[in-house]
Structure 1
Amino acid sequence: MDIIAKAVSILMHDGIVVYPTETVYGLGADAFSDEAILKVYEAKKRPVGMPISIAVSDADMLHAVARTEPWMEPFICTFLPGPVTVILPSRKSVPAILTGGTGLIGIRMPSHPLALELIRQFDSPITATSANLHGGKEPHIPDECTVPRELLIDGGKLPGTPSTVVDLTRKQVLRAGADIDRVAKFLLTL
């Protein structure tokens, strides 16, 4: 069994895995399983109620979990896949615990081939929070992934700059990170 197949099996049984992205290592669990989501909060020692982003593998999966307006599509098509998290109105299918009660969901579509293959083979969104303790250093090498997990997919040394977080509903950058200059310029055109 290859590493991706093993990771998918763990996700299907409400387990958690660490996976590489084009920014930092992520902590993945089934985004539709309350049990798996609670394991992510516990592993990170993150307060329940704080939103957790999810990762998707394509536009169809994104539109299955979030609502978009036509004016948002150029931004989404330009920056996803890539090192950007977009905040969008969530669909009712998204567990409320992930939105922190806001009705909004952070969505990543990583451009790292291992992350995309994991999500594609799982065929459902996974959590997309960094694989570190809440408030800790963003992990860019496997040894910095300090959270409990069933499996780590080693992607070697990653860039280490977290994704830029953009609330598209308000056309506002919430966290400057990777690709911030291009993101900021594009937001001015919306």
Structure 2
Amino acid sequence: MRTTRVLRVNPHEPEREAIAEAAEVIRAGGLVAFPTETVYGLGADALNERAVRRIFEVKGRPPDNPIIVHVADKDSIYLLAAEVPPAAEELISRFWPG
């Protein structure tokens, strides 16, 4: 049985312990829900196939509707993408981060 744990985090002074706990859940292949500016996001390790499948399952998302993967820096894109077209390179150089 899966359990849900709710951690309340002060957005202005996030508690390190709560962030560390959420990071451990992600490292273990679990999912973490978190608020964004407009909606709640669902986070997981994008390199963990089981975790990604779980996101699709939980959201009821069809497999042909891709999910967003956030990366820490530009170099990470080349580790994840099969191809980065020249138009994307231009946008990356002009607008990263942002």
Q: How far does the alpha carbon of each residue in 1:41-61 deviate from its partner, in whole angstroms, 9 at most, with x for none?
A: 121111233222211111011
Q: How far does the alpha carbon of each residue in 1:21-72 deviate from its partner, in whole angstroms, 9 at most, with x for none?
A: 4554321111111211121112111123322221111101112112324453
Unaligned runs of 5+ in 2: 1-15
Q: Which has the higher helix share?
A: 2
- Matches of residues 1-190 of structure 1 in structure 2 within 5 Å? 2-21=17-36, 24-66=39-81, 67-82=83-98
Q: Which has the higher strand share?
A: 1
Report the RMSD for the aligned CA atoms in angstroms.
2.2
Q: In structure 2, what is the equivalent of residue 151 of structure 1?
A: none
Would the alpha carbon gap of residues 59 and 11 (structure 1) be closer, same or farther in structure 2, given more than 3 Å must change? same
TM (normalized to structure 2)? 0.66
Q: In structure 1, what is the equivalent of residue 4 of structure 2?
A: none
Q: Percent identity?
A: 41
Count the aligned residue pairs: 82
Quote the Cα distance in structure 1 between the aligned partners of 2:21 and 2:31: 11
Quote the Cα distance in structure 1 between the aligned partners of 2:38 and 2:72: 16
Quote the Cα distance in structure 2 between the aligned partners of 1:60 and 1:22: 26
TM (normalized to structure 1)? 0.38
Unaligned runs of 5+ in 1: 83-190
